[in-house]
Amino acid sequence: MKVFILYAHPEPNASFQGALLKKGVETLESEGHEVIVSDLYKMGFNPVASAEDFTTRRFPDRLQYDREQKFAVENNELPNDVKAELEKIFWCDLFIVQFPLYWFSTPAILKGWFDRVFVNSVVYGAGKRYETGGLKGRKAMVVTSCGAYSEMFEPDGMMGDINVALWHLHNGTLFYTGFEVLPPFVAYSPVFGGQDACDNYLDDYARRLTNIDTTTPMKFHPLSDFGADFKLKPEVTPTSAGHSR
């Protein structure tokens, strides 16, 4: 299996996230998988979606970023750094998105990667969304860590269900573009738990990756579950973290 790890953490040396990345690469390679990593901070990846991404413009008077992306694709004028990342995402069978949880979301550099690399008409748009997304046939998994304790991210916890917190990524980004989304790997408060807690999480992550081929994807509603009013059909029972009656 070909695995692409998209990694965003600002500390290049001693960090739990760095140890988690190393453990992940070592485990996957020991299982015979091919692995490539985009370390966004190390790469100095530009996260800012702007007019500078386009050498020629379809609409020069007002920037419509998604439509200019489509125009750039048609004219083979995407920025080189975007092309390079697109090649990685289409190369892989499994896409791992690894980051520390910042304000219930990703570091800005990672959000900007999605803004620039998930290109209109390539991974979404032109009839590509959800089960018809441009990245269908691949799996994706979020790997993250946070300062909160696990009890705080339970459905009745102070922070709410972790799958609700990650809904924007799971459903709005990964499933929307066609991925089968695997359950996230979350390390809760590893630093506050001490070295033993960190070591336990590293071992848990290795076990998770060892069994990645047999991991059951999360449940999301396909387009066929929705009616012409864009709502779940009356006979469909909500089963995802973001849907309810």
pLDDT tens-place string over residues 2-56: 999 999 999 877 789 999 999 999 999 999 999 999 999 999 999 999 999 999 9
Length of the chain in terms of residues written? 245
Backbone angles phi, psi at 70, to 5 degrees: -60, -40
pLDDT tens-digit readout, 41-92: 999 999 999 999 999 999 999 999 999 999 999 999 999 999 999 999 999 9
Within a domain: 85: yes
Residue 26, H or E segment: helix 16-30
Give all strands (DSSP E) within 91-148, no chain letters.
94-100, 139-146
Within a domain: 165: yes
* Number of domains, the chain: 1
Within a domain: 163: yes
Domain that holds residue 50: 2-218
Within a domain: 83: yes
Closest CA to 177 of 45, 48, 86: 86
Distance between CA atoms of 147 and 159, rounded to whole angstroms? Answer: 12
Residue 146 has pLDDT above 80, yes or no: yes
200: Cβ contacts below 8 Å, ≥ 6 apart: none
DSSP SS3 for 188: strand
Backbone angles phi, psi at 16, to 5 degrees: -65, -40
Q: Tell me the helices (H) and strands (E) count for the chain, helix number first.
A: 8, 6
| Phi-psi group of 67: left, alpha or beta (phi > 0 → left; psi -120 to 50 → alpha; rest → beta) | alpha
Question: Are β-strands 34-39 and 94-100 bridged in parallel, bridged antiparallel, or unpaired?
Answer: unpaired
Residue 193 has pLDDT above 80, yes or no: no
Within a domain: 137: yes
Within a domain: 191: yes
Within a domain: 205: yes
Question: Are β-strands 2-7 and 94-100 bridged in parallel, bridged antiparallel, or unpaired?
Answer: parallel
Query: Which CATH number fits the domain that encloses residue 103?
Result: 3.40.50.360
Report the predicted TM-score, pTM, of the whole model to 2 decimal places. Answer: 0.95
Within a domain: 243: no
CB atoms within 10 A of CB 23: 17
